[in-house]
């Protein structure tokens, strides 16, 4: 009898109970962060917006996708997920967090101006000076002006890991992947502003990336206890350095087929789209996607929602006017692609 080694099974459903521990990591990926960080529960509906409601959610993962996620969990390595826009790269982080009960996803959206420090923390020195002036000599608590970023929050000493989504890393500065290497390898970072006052104030309570979240930082240092589940997405706009790729596992997602698209529609709409011929819309969407060089799945969801709303009022007619509207909604993802 074969033993099922999988922790993550790719069902899209919430497990009966959240995991309380992962298998032991490799010796070189073990961390012993001090302190204790509490994980919040709710996520203000972000998971439902990303992957649909629990009642309708049905994710069709490929065996390779499931295997690579589990390999990342066992090895405590970031998973670099590539693929065309709309293939569900960022959704994977929410599926993992939901199925394993790991709490809200910590999302770090990357732009061309993003720096490593922004991902770790922000210290509002000007705000602190202004607060000190308004309080007439009373020194405000420095912790009120330190706010951990998504990466910094993910590296707090949790008993079980948080899920960190580093979204569209290829949009960032060319040096950002290399800047991430030491943090991913060491699982720790310092906040110099807190290190400087550690003798006078060894423990400081700061804000975290979670809504209304806070954490206690000792001696200005943060080290994880459970290395976070790191999902890094890339649309393939540029190559990453070999040293960075060596420290990641890589997963390429192909565009979803008709069954996967039907599952996405069911997860988002449930029975609300029953007045619409969803199968026909999916077929037309796939034809259009092939003709223009690829569409994103959310473009299909836009069409289903619009059709459902019109069907409710009795105005839905799949005629030439509707087809013209669909060609506009299902526009190419690049101006260089055929229309």
Query: Quick check: is 191 in a domain?
Result: yes
Examine the domain organization and report whether 214 and 133 are in the same domain: yes
Say which range, 54-63, 181-190, 328-337, has the weakest mean pLDDT.
54-63
Domain limit, last residue, from 197, 232, 252: 252
Q: How confident is the model at residue 238 (pLDDT cuts 50, 70, 90)?
A: confident
- Asked if residue 147 has pLDDT above 70, the reply is yes
Instruction: Identify the pLDDT of residue 55.
Output: 56
Domain limit, last residue, from 207, 236, 252: 252
Of 184 and 334, more confident: 184
Examine the domain organization and report whether 192 and 115 are in the same domain: yes
Q: What stretch of H or E contains 302?
A: helix 297-313
Examine the domain organization and report whether 246 and 266 are in the same domain: no
Domain limit, last residue, from 196, 220, 252: 252
Examine the domain organization and report whether 79 and 223 are in the same domain: yes
Examine the domain organization and report whether 248 and 270 are in the same domain: no
Query: Quick check: is 40 in a domain?
Result: yes
How far is Cα of residue 58 from the mean position of the Cα atoms in its chain? 19
Examine the domain organization and report whether 155 and 117 are in the same domain: yes
Would you say the C-alpha torsion 330, 50, 70, 31 has a positive or negative sign? positive
Q: How confident is the model at residue 337 (pLDDT cuts 50, 70, 90)?
A: very low
Percent of all residues in the chain with a pLDDT value above 90, rounded to a whole number: 61
DSSP string, 120-134: HEEE-HHHHHHHHHH
User: What are the backbone angles phi and psi of residue 299, rounded to the nearest 5°?
Assistant: -70, -35
Examine the domain organization and report whether 221 and 237 are in the same domain: yes
Mean pLDDT along residues 151-179: 96
Examine the domain organization and report whether 59 and 153 are in the same domain: yes
Residues 6+ apart with CB under 8 A from 233: 81, 82, 89, 90, 165, 166, 167, 168, 169
User: Domain of 265?
Assistant: 258-329
Q: How confident is the model at residue 186 (pLDDT cuts 50, 70, 90)?
A: very high
The tally of domains found in the chain comes to 2
Q: What distance in Å separates the CA atoms of residue 269 and residue 53, rounded to the nearest whole number? A: 8
Examine the domain organization and report whether 274 and 293 are in the same domain: yes
The 10s digit of each residue's pLDDT in 37-77 is: 998 887 778 888 888 876 556 667 889 999 999 999 999 99
How far is Cα of residue 207 from the mean position of the Cα atoms in its chain? 20
Query: Quick check: is 20 in a domain?
Result: no
Query: Quick check: is 8 in a domain?
Result: no
Q: What distance in Å separates the CA atoms of residue 17 and residue 85, rounded to the nearest whole number? A: 33
């Amino acid at each position: 009898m074969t033993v099922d080694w999988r922790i993550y099974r790719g069902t899209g459903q919430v497990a009966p109970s959240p995991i309380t521990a992962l298998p032991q990591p490799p010796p070189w990926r073990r961390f012993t962060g001090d302190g204790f960080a509490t994980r919040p529960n709710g996520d203000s509906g972000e998971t439902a917006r990303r992957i649909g409601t629990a009642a309708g959610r049905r994710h069709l993962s490929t065996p390779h996708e499931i295997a690579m996620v589990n390999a990342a969990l066992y090895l405590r390595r970031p998973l670099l997920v590539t693929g065309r826009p709309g293939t569900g790269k960022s959704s994977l982080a929410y599926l993992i967090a939901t199925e394993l009960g790991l709490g809200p996803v910590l999302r770090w959206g990357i732009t061309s101006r993003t720096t490593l420090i922004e991902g770790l923390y922000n210290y509002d020195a000007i705000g602190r000076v202004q607060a000190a002036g308004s309080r007439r000599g009373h020194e405000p608590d420095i912790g009120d002006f330190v706010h951990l970023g998504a990466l910094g929050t993910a590296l707090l000493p949790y008993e079980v890991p948080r899920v960190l989504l580093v979204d569209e890393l290829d949009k960032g500065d060319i040096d950002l992947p290399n800047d991430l290497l030491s943090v991913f390898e060491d699982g720790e970072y310092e906040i110099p502003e807190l290190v400087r006052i550690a003798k006078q104030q060894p423990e400081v309570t700061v804000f975290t990336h979670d809504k209304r979240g806070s954490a206690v930082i000792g001696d200005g240092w943060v080290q994880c206890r459970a290395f976070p589940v790191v999902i890094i997405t890339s649309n393939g706009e540029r190559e990453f350095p070999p040293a960075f790729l060596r420290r990641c596992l890589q997963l390429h997602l192909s565009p979803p087929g008709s069954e996967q698209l039907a599952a996405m529609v069911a997860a988002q709409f449930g029975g609300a789209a029953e007045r619409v011929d969803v199968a026909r819309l999916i077929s037309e969407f796939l034809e259009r996607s092939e003709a223009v060089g690829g569409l994103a799945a959310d473009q299909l969801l836009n069409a289903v929602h619009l059709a459902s709303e019109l069907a409710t009022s009795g105005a839905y007619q799949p005629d030439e006017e509707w087809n013209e509207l669909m060609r506009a909604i299902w526009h190419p993802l690049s101006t260089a692609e055929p229309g």
